Amino acid sequence: MTGAVTGAGTGGLRARIAEIIASDGPIPVSLYMLMCLHDPWHGYYATRAGFNRDFTTAPETSQVFGELIGLWAANQWFAMGQPRSVQLVELGPGRGTMMRDVLRVAASVPGFRDALSVSLVEASPLLRKQQLETLSRHAVSHVDTIEQVPAGPTIILANEFLDCLPIRQFVRDGEQWRERQIGLAADGALAFGLAPPAPLPADISSPQDQIEHAPGLDQIVDVLAARFRQDPGCALFVDYGPADTAPADTLRAFRDGAQVDPLATPGEADLTADVDFLRLRRLSEAAGLTAHGPVTHGAFLQRLGARQRSDVLAQANPSRAAEIAQTVETLVSPAQMGERFKALALCSTGLSAPPGFEA
């Protein structure tokens, strides 16, 4: 890296990325994604995460989501034998909304709330602040990585976290593969191109003509496997991605609720890619974890009782009954979030299948 990139500069993120490319050559998609999302001066999550403007997530859609996840967590605590102390960890808690709903439900399960120590893994200082505001009635700690969470029985929750892990993209060229990269067009605009042919990273292959690879998945699996070898634990990942193939060409940007060109406004749009659930499952099983799913969002939430919970809430709030029913429908309906989103649980060996994953 050159000295030019070590500072906020004056021209914004696009100018800094252009400087890097001009001096060091084109950059892989993963570095572009990392800078756009997490650059401390101009990164999307670091400076302007646009919840409920650029995008909306399940916990922001309906309180029923976090409540069901809270009951799921309580069930896992029972399955672990009700340990007196359990680490509850959320990866990428956004505005803290899901954890607020989880903790409200946890308080209704005797013994569970008192057993919990809550850690939030969050990269963005802006969102850390917002999480503390949302969770002001609770004791929570922020950490940079799961490794910083104290040892012991652990329940990990992550909604729409894996989709913002930086991805590398590879494109087949005859018998060879070339990595997609971002360079400068003749007019100085950011433009996609392809690196010279090179072998794919170890353990990646595809019958398709394009493949995406999130190196962060390997790291997460290593950390979970090491942790769950020492102490019982279970991690729940909810996100979008196919259940039966590897994602191919899925980098997308969202701004003001619309999909936009990912290169048009670096740092000003949310960048995301489909999650490779099959690879996550394969890596986990190879590391000695027990994997459940992926199952669809709709099936998962309905097995946890989404419709029943929706009815109870609607009866208690008659003036909001239609709205409550409609937002829960958004979560489970195949035409909305029900099919595209999936749930996957990765657990230490010896725990029974968690709720929502029964055949």
Binding residues (CB under 6 A) for ligand SAH: these are 45, 57, 59-60, 92-94, 98, 121-124, 127, 159-161, 164
Q: Which is nearer to ligand SAH, 23 or 219 (CB)?
A: 219
Rounded least distance, CB 176 to ligand SAH, Å: 31
Rounded least distance, CB 222 to ligand SAH, Å: 15
Angle at 155 between CA 347 and CA 246, to 5 degrees: 50
Q: What Rg do the C-alpha atoms of the chain give, in angstroms? A: 21
Q: Which is nearer to ligand SAH, 89 or 127 (CB)?
A: 127
Q: Which is nearer to ligand SAH, 119 or 302 (CB)?
A: 119
Q: Which is nearer to ligand SAH, 144 or 187 (CB)?
A: 144
Q: Which is nearer to ligand SAH, 57 or 75 (CB)?
A: 57
Using CA atoms, how far residue 64 sits from 43, 98, 133, 155, 197, in Å, is 31, 9, 21, 19, 48
Rounded least distance, CB 308 to ligand SAH, Å: 23
Rounded least distance, CB 184 to ligand SAH, Å: 27
Contact in structure between 155 and 77 (CB atoms under 8 Å)? yes
Rounded least distance, CB 90 to ligand SAH, Å: 7
Angle at 51 between CA 298 and CA 89, to 5 degrees: 65
Rounded least distance, CB 40 to ligand SAH, Å: 12
Q: Which is nearer to ligand SAH, 134 or 333 (CB)?
A: 134
Strands 86-91 and 154-159, bridge-based pairing: parallel
CB-count exposure of residue 340 (10 Å: 0-12, 13-18, 19+) = middle
Q: Helices 321-332 and 306-316 meet at what angle, rounded to 10?
A: 170
Rounded CA separation 238/297 (Å): 8
Residue nearest ligand SAH, CB atom distance: 92
